[in-house]
Amino acid sequence: MRYLTAGESHGPQLTTIIEGVPAQLELVADDINVDLARRQGGHGRGRRMQIEKDQVQIVGGIRHGKTTGAPIALVVENKDWKHWTKIMGAEPLTGDEEKEIKRKITRPRPGHADLNGAIKYGHRDMRNVLERSSARETTVRVAAGAVAKKILRTFGIEVGSHVLEIGGVKAEKTSYDQLSNLKELAEASPVRCLDKEAEQEMIAAIDQAKENGDSIGGVVEVIVEGVPIGLGSHVHYDRKLDAKIAAAVMSINAFKGVEFGIGFEAASKPGSEVHDEIAWDEKRGYYRKSNNLGGFEGGMTNGMPIVVRGVMKPIPTLYKPLQSVDIATKEPFAASIERSDSCAVPAAAVVAEAVVAWEVANALLERFGADQVEEIEKNIREFNEKARLF
């Protein structure tokens, strides 16, 4: 599978076209809208989320609730577009109209793509950069991820996420019985945290950051259960699934680090406390007695749950802006302020779910792919039985 997104933060719409989804997959708008709503939630979100009520329009590739095998086209309209038609319109401006536009941006924000993108593409108005580098683009990545999650769910694979840390406040009580239980607890929390004590401290930290005109980041964790053994490859570096997932998580706006299982903690432990011992029984087949490696060995899934964490830095748009340099005058100024969140970590967990789900679904179809859902289901079932008795 592959997909491409298009659209700007304050443009008329965001669009994605998805290719490679098998035919006969049951898919309706509500399968996608539920995740779009989740992406907009979470304590610390700004006023933009009150303006936009994201709903997907399916404009290609699905007929009567099922995929046809053709490319799927999804659109999410920006409700705020009506206030930006002159600033963001596609048509050329007259000289007088250009003078009327007062929101030309020449002051880059530290930590954002503004200056680098302007230099790379030759833009004197950095709105051309920030409109596309905005995290608003993740709206349709979540839409594509929702399609991937529906594919996975069809074959008994579930995806969930939660927040482990915000602004230095760490969740300690993160145990759960089943993934469905984790998802229920996370959805009930305004910061998607399983630890109720840490939840309140996280909320307080977000409120304090907002009061200070500042922003804070955190750590999210994504879990995928029910994955067959052997997705990915040990043969070529660019086919290792953990590497693909790491790249996908790092592609999310403001993410600066990724780890699997115990991750960087493995550097301080002996091998006897890191590697997962192998066991077998007739019902489960091969399994590991622990999951320190987060479901991966040699770039391939080992049948244990995939556990991946991502680190999100604080959002670079601050209401007490840092110092920068005006590219028009070269004079020092306080950086431009755009409407933003004080913390988007809970929402970022939903985006991380989406990009991880996409990579797993893609690997699943590469390994067991066919043109129809029924054929894929048969291929997976037969392989799992062979793997159990191997």
pLDDT over threshold 80, residue 334: no
- The CA dihedral of 288, 290, 296, 301, to the nearest 10 degrees, is 40
Q: How far apart are CA 248 and CA 145, in angstroms?
A: 11
* Packed helices 138-154 and 29-40: angle between N→C axes, nearest 10 degrees: 130
pLDDT band at 339 (very low <50, low <70, confident <90, very high): low
Work out whether strand 285-288 and strand 255-260 pair parallel, antiparallel, or are unpaired.
unpaired
Rg (CA), the chain: 22
Q: How far apart are CA 327 and CA 329, in angstroms?
A: 6
Burial of 285 (0-12, 13-18, 19+ CB in 10 A): middle
Q: How far apart are CA 303 and CA 280, in angstroms?
A: 12
CATH code, domain carrying 335 = 3.60.150.10
DSSP 221-271: EEEEESPPTT-B-SS-GGG-HHHHHHHHHHTSTTEEEEEETTGGGGGGS-G
The SS3 of residue 184 is: helix
pLDDT over threshold 90, residue 104: no
Q: How far apart are CA 37 and CA 268, in angstroms?
A: 40
Whether 233 contacts 319, CB under 8 Å = no
pLDDT band at 102 (very low <50, low <70, confident <90, very high): low
- pLDDT for the residue 322: 85
Which domain covers residue 153, as residue numbers? 2-389
- pLDDT for the residue 45: 74
- pLDDT for the residue 93: 82
Q: Percent of the chain, pLDDT > 90?
A: 86
Structure tokens at 192: 């998607």
Burial of 175 (0-12, 13-18, 19+ CB in 10 A): exposed
Mean pLDDT of 319-333: 90
Q: How far apart are CA 312 and CA 355, in angstroms?
A: 15
Count of helices and strands (H, E) across the chain: 12, 17
Backbone angles phi, psi at 190, to 5 degrees: -65, -15
Q: How far apart are CA 142 and CA 150, in angstroms?
A: 12
Between the two ends of the chain, the Cα-to-Cα distance in Å is 30
The SS3 of residue 111 is: coil
- pLDDT for the residue 317: 79
pLDDT over threshold 70, residue 221: yes
pLDDT over threshold 70, residue 100: no
Other Cβ atoms closer than 10 A to 371: 11
- pLDDT for the residue 320: 78
pLDDT over threshold 90, residue 321: no
Per-residue pLDDT tens over the stretch 125-160: 999 999 999 999 999 999 999 999 999 999 999 999
Q: How far apart are CA 198 and CA 119, in angstroms?
A: 42
pLDDT band at 48 (very low <50, low <70, confident <90, very high): low
- With b meaning 16 or more CB within 10 Å and e meaning fewer, what string describes 312-345? bebbbbbeebeebeebeeeeeeebbebebbbbbb
Whether 11 contacts 88, CB under 8 Å = yes
Structural domains in the chain (count): 1
Structure tokens at 92: 């050329």
- Tallying the residues shown for the chain, one arrives at 390
What lies within 8 Å, CB to CB, of 254 at 6+ separation is 135, 217, 312, 313, 314, 315, 316, 344, 348
Instruction: Report the chain's mean pLDDT, rounded to a whole number.
Output: 94
pLDDT over threshold 70, residue 47: no
What lies within 8 Å, CB to CB, of 324 at 6+ separation is 107, 108, 109, 110, 332, 333, 334, 335
Per-residue pLDDT tens over the stretch 230-239: 999 999 999 9
